[in-house]
């Protein structure tokens, strides 16, 4: 682990460079300008390189002088926001990409699923650089499609909302650039910075000990992680607990099923009680869902997570634990150490800082109690600053004892760079056709949102169906952020719970898999994991949907 300290120094240096660059850009006024653009009611039409950009932004800063004036202006502002949103939803591209445009995305999913199973490619694929080459190449092919072939407008999401029309004279740089900035600047950067921050800071906390790896002990580990997932995020909870869980089970031969259930609960299903628990719910919060509304999901949360933990305990207790070798059980019973915590005080405060940055530093929302909107990417810079504090002030020995390295988060970053770009045609097809798919009932929203969340990243999938639901009448139900509440429940549960169906459904899934494999656990491949999810998780979700929808 001698290489960990130089890597930490490199990361600290990179963070310093980014913070200084951000400060200089703030002196130049760029993040302030970007925030004003995000929150402007109107964005003037512009023509650049033969491409017309028509953008319509939501939100406006306003002042009130007196209680009645404030109420009157707030009502007018709300009406204007609804009108602007209605108009924005009506402004759609003329046509979506053709189905064949999703081939790079399908190819990337196929590479993730198949290459680890091919003996000739298995070791080659283990290199994160090679993963990056594949993901970036397929992402580039997708961008070339938009640059040379796509003949219709695309929707702009970054720095506002609107349509970007293709050039009439041939290749359209602005269409490809819009897709790139939607995917990378608008979605990938906030996504990966948040995951990186939670991963790195939680890596500075060590829960050390070797408990007896009884089925009940493992079930308690998974249950505690499921609770923490809603309050420090699925990534934070997963990275905090996966290492002590693996150490506790180091003497056992059957471990992979424990990690799979850990992914089910801690990396996914446990994170639906607060917006900070899982990225899809955070997107809902940014779209206007009240912060504490997700606490209404506590009954489905109890049913699904409770069922998974019970199934795990029964399976491990009656079928797998009795088959362990007697010598392994003897070592497990005698070689025990009580749990000890190190690095907790500092890094727990820093994790709280990450959570507060997510909740408070959204450029589209004024800081509570003020009219000031945080600058664009200030949230991400604060998160990286907290990472720098963790690496600089925390104990390097604690990280080395955790076997901490950046391999898992680099793997996620490399693959999801391509995934976020390659999935844009698929999302645009869904977005365009969503209102005409006949999806109206909560059951349909749950299963379609969930099914696609397993193979697309669950955060943008949530947003597509959230916006689809906004176009439908409320049918007499209470609306939350202009979505009928039963549909919002279904979309939220589908995105969070069924992000566990594959390794790519949610970012922490891959990270836990990588950490487990680096600890010597032979994890199931892409399809092997799906045998677990289809055989165990899916029946539980069917029962849950019958109860609540």
pLDDT in tens, 407-441: 888 988 998 899 889 989 988 887 788 777 788 89
pLDDT at residue number 468: 83
* Terminal C-alpha separation, the chain: 51
Identify the residue whose tokens are 């669950």: 458
Confidence of residue 139 (pLDDT cuts 50, 70, 90): very high
From the number of C-beta atoms within 10 Å of its C-beta (0-12, 13-18, 19+), residue 150 rates as: buried
Task: Let me know if residue 22 belongs to a domain.
Answer: no
Strands of 295-398, DSSP E = 337-342
Confidence of residue 91 (pLDDT cuts 50, 70, 90): low
Task: Let me know if residue 367 belongs to a domain.
Answer: no
Q: How many domains in the chain?
A: 1
Task: Let me know if residue 177 belongs to a domain.
Answer: yes
Give kind and range of the element (H or E) at residue 316.
Answer: none
With a cut of 80, say whether residue 18 has pLDDT above it: yes
Task: Let me know if residue 189 belongs to a domain.
Answer: yes
What six digits make up the tokens of 523? 């994890």
Of the candidate ranges 46-60, 269-283, 526-540, the one whose mean pLDDT is the lowest: 46-60
β-partners of residue 207 are 341
- What is the Cα–Cα distance from 395 to 133, expressed in whole angstroms? 34
With a cut of 50, say whether residue 377 has pLDDT above it: yes
Which residue, among 504, 486, 500, 505, has the nearest Cα to 545 in the 3D structure? 486
pLDDT at residue number 518: 85
Look over the chain and give the mean of its residue pLDDT values, rounded to a whole number: 86
Task: Let me know if residue 342 belongs to a domain.
Answer: no
With a cut of 70, say whether residue 54 has pLDDT above it: no
- Give me the mean pLDDT over the 75-98 stretch: 58
- Give me the mean pLDDT over the 11-15 stretch: 95
Confidence of residue 448 (pLDDT cuts 50, 70, 90): very high
Sheet holding 43-48, edge to edge: 43-48, 51-56, 161-164, 154-156
Task: Let me know if residue 397 belongs to a domain.
Answer: no
User: Do 239 and 511 touch, CB atoms closer than 8 A?
Assistant: yes
Domain of residue 522, residue span = 44-61+91-330+407-548
Confidence of residue 84 (pLDDT cuts 50, 70, 90): very low
pLDDT at residue number 4: 62
pLDDT at residue number 243: 87
pLDDT at residue number 82: 45
pLDDT at residue number 92: 73
401: Cβ contacts below 8 Å, ≥ 6 apart: 206, 208, 342
Task: Let me know if residue 197 belongs to a domain.
Answer: yes
With a cut of 80, say whether residue 41 has pLDDT above it: no
pLDDT at residue number 87: 46
Task: Let me know if residue 14 belongs to a domain.
Answer: no
Annotate 36-75 with DSSP letters as a single string: HHHT-S-EEEEEETTEEEEEE--------SSHHHHHHHHH
Residue 160's alpha-carbon distances to 103, 256, 333, 434, in angstroms, are 29, 44, 59, 21
- Out of 12-26, 346-360, 435-449, the most confident range is 12-26
Identify the residue whose tokens are 């007896």: 212
Of the candidate ranges 77-91, 239-253, 532-546, the one whose mean pLDDT is the lowest: 77-91
Q: pLDDT tens across 288-344, in order?
A: 888 889 999 999 999 999 999 999 999 999 999 999 999 989 988 888 888 888 998
With a cut of 60, say whether residue 52 has pLDDT above it: no
pLDDT at residue number 334: 86
- Give me the mean pLDDT over the 224-249 stretch: 91
If one counts every other C-beta atom within 10 angstroms of the C-beta of residue 394, the result is 21
């Amino acid at each position: 682990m001698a290489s960990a300290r130089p890597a930490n120094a490199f990361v600290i240096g990179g963070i310093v460079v980014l913070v200084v660059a951000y400060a200089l850009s703030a002196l130049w006024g760029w993040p302030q300008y970007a925030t004003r653009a995000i929150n402007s009611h109107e964005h003037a039409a512009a023509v650049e390189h033969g491409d017309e950009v028509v953008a319509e932004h939501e939100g406006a800063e306003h002042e009130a002088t007196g209680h009645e004036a404030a109420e009157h202006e707030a009502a007018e502002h709300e009406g204007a926001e609804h009108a602007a949103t209605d108009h924005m939803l009506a402004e759609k591209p003329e046509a979506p990409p053709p189905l064949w445009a999703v081939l790079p995305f399908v190819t990337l999913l196929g590479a993730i699923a198949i290459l680890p199973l091919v003996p000739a490619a298995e070791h080659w694929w283990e290199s994160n650089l090679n993963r990056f080459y594949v993901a970036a190449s397929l992402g580039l092919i997708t961008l070339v499609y938009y640059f040379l072939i796509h003949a219709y407008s695309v929707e702009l999401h970054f720095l506002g909302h609107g349509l970007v029309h293709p050039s009439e004279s041939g290749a359209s740089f602005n269409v490809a650039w819009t897709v790139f900035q939607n995917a990378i600047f608008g979605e990938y950067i906030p996504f990966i910075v948040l995951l990186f921050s939670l991963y790195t800071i939680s890596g500075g906390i060590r829960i050390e000990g070797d408990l007896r790896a009884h089925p009940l002990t493992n079930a308690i580990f998974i249950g505690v992680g499921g609770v923490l997932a809603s309050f420090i995020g699925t990534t934070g909870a997963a990275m905090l607990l996966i290492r002590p869980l693996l150490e506790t089970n180091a003497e056992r031969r059957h471990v992979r099923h424990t990690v799979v259930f850990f992914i089910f609960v801690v990396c996914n299903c446990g994170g639906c009680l607060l917006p900070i628990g899982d990225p899809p719910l955070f997107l809902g919060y940014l779209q206007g869902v009240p912060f504490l509304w997700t606490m209404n999901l506590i009954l489905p949360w109890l049913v699904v997570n409770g069922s998974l933990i019970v199934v795990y305990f029964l399976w491990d207790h009656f079928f797998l634990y009795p088959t362990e070798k007697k010598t392994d059980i003897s070592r497990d019973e005698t070689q025990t150490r009580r749990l000890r915590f190190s690095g907790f005080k500092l890094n727990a405060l820093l994790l709280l800082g990450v959570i507060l940055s997510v909740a408070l530093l959204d450029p589209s929302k004024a800081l509570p109690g003020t009219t000031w909107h945080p600058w664009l990417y200030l949230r991400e810079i604060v998160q990286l600053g907290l990472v720098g504090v963790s690496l600089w002030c925390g104990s390097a020995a604690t990280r080395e004892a955790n076997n901490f390295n950046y391999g898992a988060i680099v793997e996620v970053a490399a693959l999801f760079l391509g995934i976020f770009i390659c999935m844009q045609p698929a999302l645009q097809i869904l977005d365009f056709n969503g209102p005409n798919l006949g999806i109206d009932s909560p059951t349909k929203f749950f299963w379609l949102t969930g099914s696609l969340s397993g193979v697309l990243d669950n955060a943008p999938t949530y947003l597509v169906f959230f916006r689809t639901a906004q176009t439908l009448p409320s049918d007499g139900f209470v609306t939350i952020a202009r979505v009928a509440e039963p549909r919002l429940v279904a979309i939220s549960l589908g995105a969070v719970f069924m992000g566990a169906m594959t390794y790519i459904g949610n970012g922490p899934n891959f990270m836990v898999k990588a950490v487990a494999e680096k600890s010597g656990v032979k994890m199931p491949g892409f399809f092997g994991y799906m045998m677990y999810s289809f055989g165990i998780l899916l029946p539980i979700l069917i029962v849950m949907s019958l109860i609540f929808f």
